[in-house]
Structure formats: structure tokens, C-alpha cells
């Protein structure tokens, strides 16, 4: 936690400085009849810089390393698997389409991460994909991404 606070504090401080500086260089601070588009962003950057500095100084002076915030071992593997599968689905949404993507995603996570029995896995995958199609594509008429196979 202490290390995470140091990194977050430093990153937020840098962001805040860039945010304020960006506001002043690109937009006008004060217009003809009042505050311009740079006014609030500039001050938000200043306030954020103060807050980030407080966090950073506190974490630098702290002698307690605190509990680790990221899991290790098996839980970390599970977290990575879920996040990886989700990222893959989002990245490939326009290739696999929503219906096929949903089914594949459910099969991967339920069967290969949690060893759900095959019949239950397939039933849930098909039902979810079907329901998703009926509600969003048919009922709400959302043009969901379709796969290269056209569904």
C-alpha cells in the first residue's frame, strides 16, 4: 500500500502539473466577459497537485509498508485470467460479434477457469447469448456488433 501510494502520488502530481500547464498554454484563462475555458482546469490542477503532494509526502515519511494490495499466487492468476478474457472480448468485438463472443466468453471462463461441468456451461452460454440477442438486438434495436459470419 505504501509503495502504491508513492507511485500514485507521484503520477497524480505529474498529471496535475501537466493539466494546469496544458490549460494555460492552449486555452484562455480570462475572456472578455469573465473566466475562460482554462480557468477551472487550471485551479483543479493546482488543487490536485496539493492533494497528490500530501499523499506522496505522507507515503514517503511513513515507516509502515502496509499490506500488499495486489493479490499473489492463485488469486492473481484468476484476476489476470478474467481481465485478459474481458480485454480479448472487447478487442475482438467487431470480429466475433456480440452473440458468438458472449457464448465463447462464458465457455472460456466457466469451463476453463472454474471447471463448471460441460452441459451446464453450454446451457448457460447459449441462454445468455440468446437472451442478450433478444433483449438488445430484437427488442431495443441496438445494432450490436456482428461476427464475420454475419450474426
Partner 1 sequence: MDFISNLALGFSVALTPFNLMMAAAGVTIGILIGALPGVGPPSGVALLLPLTFGMDPTSGIIMLAALYAGTMYGGTITSVLINTPGESASVVTCLDGHQMALQGRAGPALGIAAIGSFVAGTVGVVLLMLVSPALARWSLSFGPPETFALMLLGLTTVTLLTGDNPVKGYISMVFGLMLAMVGFDIISGDARYAFGIPEMMDGIDFLPVAIGLFGLGEVLAGAEAPKGHAVVHGRYGLRDLLPSARDWARSRWAIVRGTFMGFCVGTLPGAGPTIATFMSYALEKKVSKHPQEFGHGAIEGVAGPESANNAAATGAMVPMLTLGIPGSATTAIMLGGLMMWGLRPGPLLFEKNPGFVWGLIASQYIANVMLLILSTVFIPLFVRALRVPYAILMPIVIIFCITGAYSLKNNVWDVGQMLVFGVLGYAMKKLGYSPAALVLALVLGPLAERALRQSLIISDAGLGIFFMRPIAAVLTVAALAAVVVPAVRAGLAALRRRVVVNEASVADKTTRG
Binding site for partner 1 (CB under 8 A): 1, 4-5, 8, 12, 19, 22-23, 26-28, 31, 33-37, 39-41, 44-45, 47-48, 51-52, 54-55, 58, 69-71, 75-76, 78-79, 82-83, 86-87, 89-90, 93-94, 98, 102, 105-106, 109-110, 113-114, 116, 120, 124, 128, 132, 135-136, 139-145
How many angstroms separate the CA atoms of 89 and 111, rounded?
16
Smallest gap from Cβ 109 to partner 1, in A, equals: 4
User: Between residues 86 and 151, which has the closer beta carbon with respect to partner 1?
Assistant: 86
CB 47, min distance to partner 1, A: 5
Asked if residues 38 and 28 have their Cβ atoms less than 8 Å apart, the reply is yes
Gap between the Cα atoms of 48 and 23, Å rounded: 14
When the beta carbons of 136 and 147 are compared against partner 1, the nearer one is: 136
Largest CA distance in the chain: 70
Tell me how far apart the alpha carbons of residues 83 and 86 are, in angstroms, rounded to a whole number.
5
Burial (CB < 10 A; 0-12, 13-18, 19+), residue 73, is exposed
Closest contact distance (angstroms) between CB of 147 and partner 1 is 14
Amino acid at each position: 500500500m505504501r509503495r502504491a501510494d508513492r507511485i500514485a502520488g507521484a503520477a497524480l502530481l505529474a498529471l496535475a502539473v501537466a493539466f494546469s500547464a496544458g490549460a494555460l498554454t492552449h486555452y484562455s484563462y480570462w475572456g472578455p466577459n469573465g473566466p475562460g475555458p482554462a480557468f477551472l482546469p487550471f485551479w483543479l490542477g493546482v488543487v490536485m497537485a496539493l492533494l497528490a503532494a500530501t499523499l506522496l509526502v505522507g507515503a514517503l515519511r511513513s515507516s509502515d509498508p502496509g499490506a500488499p494490495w495486489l493479490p499473489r499466487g492463485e488469486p492473481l492468476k484468476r484476476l489476470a485470467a478474467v481481465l485478459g478474457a474481458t480485454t480479448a472480448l472487447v478487442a475482438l468485438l467487431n470480429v466475433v460479434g456480440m452473440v458468438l463472443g458472449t457464448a465463447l466468453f462464458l465457455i472460456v471462463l466457466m469451463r476453463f477457469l472454474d471447471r463448471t461441468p460441460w452441459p451446464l456451461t453450454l446451457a448457460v452460454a447459449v441462454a445468455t447469448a440468446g437472451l442478450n440477442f433478444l433483449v438488445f438486438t430484437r427488442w431495443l434495436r441496438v445494432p450490436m456488433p456482428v461476427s464475420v459470419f454475419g450474426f
